[in-house]
Amino acid sequence: MSINNYSVIAMNGKQVNLEDYLDQVILIVNTASKCGFTPQYEDLQRLYEKYKDKNFTILGFPCNQFGEQEPENNDKVQSFCTLNYGVTFPLFQKVNVRGSEAHPLFKHLTQSLPYKGMDNNDPSSKILLWMLNEKYPEYLMDDSIKWNFTKFLINKKGNPIKRYEPTHSFDDLETDIKLLIKF
């Protein structure tokens, strides 16, 4: 099912219908400013700059549900991302991405693209899984988002295609983006 029926709130407070992104490949990411994965903003911005003229965009959704790693208000989040990482892709107001208070968009994404695990050979995945097992074992019980910087790739028709856990390779992600842009 398409994401085109959902709306979100931009940092400026205006409602944005996701159908406005029809005919674009979209990468939806839940983000945080005080996370070990925060430097991924650099890679995300690089992808955005490289492919934005080829009907590709990134939609960032700050979230404070994981270790309270996004405690600031929306204005400070926007400033942090712009000043520290040069982020120019669209950022939206903070949302919950898991649990009963999750934004409907993220409920849809996790239902459409269930959790399939992490790469047990990747050192970052091992560390993240260890931490989740130790501190948040309930996060591993279902298909919900496990941590900050989980990504969802959406095709030009608005259909979720692939889910990437926070430790997933940006090389693989870029390969998948290039394939979708061509169609």
Q: Is the pLDDT of residue 121 over 70?
A: yes
- Apex CA 1: angle with CA 170 and CA 58, to 5°? 30
Whether 2 maps to a domain, the answer reads no
What pLDDT shows up at residue 120?
A: 79
Averaged pLDDT, 112-134: 92
Predicted confidence band of residue 129 (pLDDT cuts 50, 70, 90): very high
CA distance 159 to 2: 4
Q: Tell me the average pLDDT of the chain.
A: 95
Q: What CATH number does residue 145 fall under?
A: 3.40.30.10
Whole-model pTM: value is 0.96
Partners of 10 in the β-ladder: 92
What pLDDT shows up at residue 183?
A: 63
Whether 110 maps to a domain, the answer reads yes
Q: pLDDT of 75-111, one tens digit each? A: 999 999 999 999 999 999 999 999 999 999 999 999 9
What pLDDT shows up at residue 66?
A: 96
Question: Which run of H or of E encompasses 25?
Answer: strand 25-31
Distance of CA 83 to the CA centre of its chain: 20
Catalytic residues: 35
What pLDDT shows up at residue 122?
A: 86
Percent of the chain with pLDDT over 70: 99
> Which residues span the domain enclosing 27?
7-182
Whether 32 maps to a domain, the answer reads yes
- Cβ atoms of residues 57 and 77 within 8 Å: no
Q: pLDDT of 20-34, one tens digit each? A: 999 999 999 999 999
Domain count, the chain: 1
Percent of the chain with pLDDT over 90: 95
Whether 1 maps to a domain, the answer reads no
Q: pLDDT of 137-166, one tens digit each? A: 999 999 999 999 999 999 999 999 999 999
